Amino acid sequence: MMRLLVFLVLATISFSACNKESDGTQNASSGTGPAKSSTPSVSKAPAAGDHVLYMFDGYHFYEATVISIDGTKSKLKRDDEYLDRELKDIYRIPKAGDKPSVKPGDFVAAQYGELPTWPTAEVVAVDDNKITVKRIISGKVEELSPERVLSVSPSAAAKIREAASKKD
């Protein structure tokens, strides 16, 4: 009887632990759970109505609103213009408290002021509460709060790197 009771208690604990890890939450003590990305666009797929960023060219990312998603395609609205973009090429706009995983030498999009355009930049230095970047277009160096810096995909970083090489 005691063995049965011990077995039931252990089975219940084991089942509860498996259920916790599969619900998408992160277990801080063990580090288990789904991998978290520092790029907001990767951590949760954008949905209709979300405000996002998309790469306009090697020098700019623009803010837009997701109108619809169909498989891997998205329809965005920027001002009065509708755009079709691959879902993999749009990014969630970082929120206060977000900290992108960037290091010196990385190419990023960075928000200066409150404009809906995020110029591209190269990361110069990273501290806990600020990221120093150098704008691709002007070469101006600025310190920004982490939520004003967007870590981009390797393909977007390659396009920014190419644009930067043309400015030198």
Where are the domains positioned within the chain?
Answer: 40-92, 107-167
DSSP state of 87: G
Q: Which residue has the higher pLDDT, 23 or 60?
A: 60
Kind of pairing between the strands at 131-135 and 73-78: unpaired
Sequence length of the chain is 168
Q: Do domains 40-92 and 107-167 have the same CATH topology?
A: yes
- Chain segment 127-153, per-residue pLDDT in tens: 989 999 999 999 999 999 999 999 999
Regarding pTM above 0.85, the answer is no
| 40-92: CATH, from 1.10.150, 3.10.450, 2.170.150, 2.30.30 | 2.30.30
Name which of 102, 139, 107, 130 is nearest 120 in CA terms: 107
By the 8 A CB rule, do 84 and 68 touch?
no
DSSP string of 41-85? Answer: HHHS---TT-EEEEEEETTEEEEEEEEEEETTEEEEEETTEEEEE
Q: Could you tell me which CATH number the domain at 107-167 has? A: 2.30.30.140
- Chain segment 82-140, per-residue pLDDT in tens: 999 999 999 999 988 888 899 999 999 999 988 899 999 999 999 989 999 999 999 99
